[in-house]
Amino acid sequence: MKYLVLAVALAWLISAPAQANPSQKYALPGVLTLELVPGAHFKNTGWFLVFPFTKGPQMAAWIEDDQGTYVATIFVTKKAEIRPEGLPVWSHRPGRPAAIDAVSAATTVESVDKTGPSVDVTAGKYKVFLEVNLSYDWNRVWAQNLPVTDVHYNGVNGQPSLVYRAQISVGQGASVTAMAPWGIGSATGLDGAMNPSVGMDTALQILDSAKVSVVR
């Protein structure tokens, strides 16, 4: 199985002294790596009239501080801003730039290297989020052609976006943390809330695994 690895060089010093000053700014180069392993449902088939085409997920990853304040976007796939229901949690983050430099189409599993934003942060805990969505991914709960009054109405979205989360520490050296499903986004893209996971099946197989590494 091929790996989709997004190595993001952030302007962080993550190799702090043993007794780190929590108010100290860290601004020397470090590396934050997201390693995403595509799962059995990483791609599916769509149709244009009678012509089939292969499509992959839209994804975005970003960082928030321990109080839930947006810090920076790590990467986002190219078509993420076309459909508001595609990545609604990321799209609605307060403080997110209006325009993002997208780094890849979602239909490839080749390695992608991207220089991340220049960010000064203090020592402490941060949360890394990853939002994943594969359109037209209907199932028995998030079904096709539901009436708009149905609580699971989703337009052409199918299953809503799935949000993974991991907590990392800056100023404590190297670490590797598995990302785990944390919630789902709005199926219609109306807001940026992370809702409890309901009725998800194949969406959980878009990725086989995801982990974030803080490298000294």
pLDDT for residue 17: 34
What pTM value is reported for the model? 0.82
The pLDDT score that the predictor gives to residue 20 is 46
Q: Rounded to whole angstroms, how far apart are CA atoms 20 and 16?
A: 6
Nearest to 124, CA basis, from 210, 35, 64, 164: 64
Q: What pairs with residue 169 in β-bridges?
A: 125
Cβ count within 10 A of residue 38 = 20
Task: Tell me if 11 sits within 8 A of 118, measured CB to CB.
Answer: yes
| Cα-trace Rg, the chain | 18
**pLDDT tens-place values along the chain, 216 residues long:** 556 655 544 433 333 333 444 544 443 234 577 888 889 999 876 655 556 656 789 999 888 988 999 988 888 887 666 677 899 999 999 888 766 655 544 333 433 444 455 566 777 888 999 999 998 899 999 999 999 999 999 988 899 999 999 998 877 878 889 999 999 999 999 999 999 999 999 999 999 999 888 765
3-state SS, residue 202: helix
Query: Kind of pairing, strands 162-170 and 124-133?
Result: antiparallel
Q: Rounded distance, CA 212 to CA 155, Å?
A: 32
